[in-house]
Amino acid sequence: MALKTVIKNAFLTATINSFGAELCSLKNKDNKEYIWEGNPDFWGKHSPILFPIVGTLKNNSFHYNAKEYHLSRHGFARDMDFEIVDEKDNSVTFSIHSSEETVKVYPFEFELQIIYTLDNYNLSIEYKVINKGNSKMPFSIGAHPAFALPGNFEDHSIQFDKEESLEYYLLENDLISNQTKKLETQEGQIPLTYELFKNDALIFKTLNSKSLTILEDRNPVLRVNFKDFPSLGIWTKMNAPFLCIEPWFGYSDTNENSGNLFEKEGIQVLEEKATFRSEFSVEVL
């Protein structure tokens, strides 16, 4: 049964659902909510965890050791019940393990831990992937937090922390196409419009920047810091009052993918018994 866990400090309160270890609320001491409410009329999630793939596989399948496996978009972690393995006032650690069910679609032994920690005005989310098996393990992992944008969507803008030649890839039938577009900045900022997202998410395979700030009427509201992550997705639904800022290790297949996860662009490969760690944070400004 899904349970909600609350962690807090003097400045912030975060609520995490054990189902998917999903962050579903982040409020300041004035009770201002920063996470999208999850209204299913637009999108019924808040901040799902993407594992062991990010995005979509070609034909929703891959092969390993001469056997074909079917793995749905963004993987299965977001649809699993996590257990709490450590809990303090300002932090909580969730965990899932491979099981009879997971090996049917992903034939590797693993543990995935998600660690949420509040520190002043900062919520850090650490991913810990442990290869429990005796062979190399290919995987991707990513975040998908949706931030509430109350009021007029087009009063908001985003700002990357470094100068960028912002070229993003377009999706076609949920796969990465070869088509790219340039994103123009105005004084280093990108005004938000729904038109930007008419072809789905903006996908940046590589970036110089390691943080992105959301502004409202040019005033900074919050910052997502993703120093560990090479790739990023930005997404919303038409007319929805939220914006997803998604740090990723990996992304969807292209039409040219071979079906071998080890050859997949952006994939991580973890040695036997090894541990992978990465962390991003949400900073309330």
Contact status, residue 122 vs residue 281, Cβ threshold 8 Å: yes
Residues near 170 by Cβ (< 8 Å), separated by ≥ 6?
Answer: 176, 177, 179, 180, 181, 199, 200, 203
Q: How distant, in Å, are the alpha carbons of 87, 185, 214 from that of 157?
A: 36, 10, 6
Chain centroid to CA 208: how far?
A: 18
Res 165: pLDDT: 81
**Other beta carbons within 10 Å of 52:** 26
DSSP 172-236: ETTEEEEEEEE---BTTEEE--GGGGTTS-EEES--S-SEEEEEETTEEEEEEE-TT-SEEEEE-
Contact status, residue 48 vs residue 74, Cβ threshold 8 Å: yes
pLDDT tens-digit profile of 17-59? 999 999 999 999 999 999 999 999 999 999 999 999 999 999 9
Helix (H), strand (E) counts: the chain: 0, 24
Res 30: pLDDT: 97
From CA 137, how far away is CA 36, in angstroms rounded?
Answer: 33
Res 163: pLDDT: 82
* Averaged pLDDT in 10-residue chunks for the chain of 285 residues: 92 98 98 97 97 97 96 97 97 98 98 98 98 97 97 95 88 91 85 94 93 96 97 96 98 93 96 98 98
Structure tokens at 120: 């002043």
Res 108: pLDDT: 98
Q: How distant, in Å, are the alpha carbons of 47, 85, 91, 92 from that of 88?
A: 22, 11, 5, 6
DSSP 46-102: SS-EEBS-SS--GGGEEEETTEEEE--TTBSGGGSB-EEEEE-SSEEEEEEE--TTG
Dihedral sign from CA coordinates of 240, 243, 249, 252: positive
Structure tokens at 207: 């970036």
From CA 129, how far away is CA 245, in angstroms rounded?
Answer: 22
pLDDT tens-digit profile of 236-257? 999 999 999 999 999 999 989 9
Structure tokens at 273: 């018994």
Q: How many CA atoms lie within 13 A of 154 on its CB side?
A: 7
From CA 235, how far away is CA 141, in angstroms rounded?
Answer: 17
Domains of the chain: 4-34+49-284 (2.70.98.10)
Please state the pTM of the whole predicted model: 0.96
Contact status, residue 285 vs residue 148, Cβ threshold 8 Å: no
Q: How distant, in Å, are the alpha carbons of 7, 71, 72, 118, 142 from that of 51?
A: 24, 10, 10, 23, 7
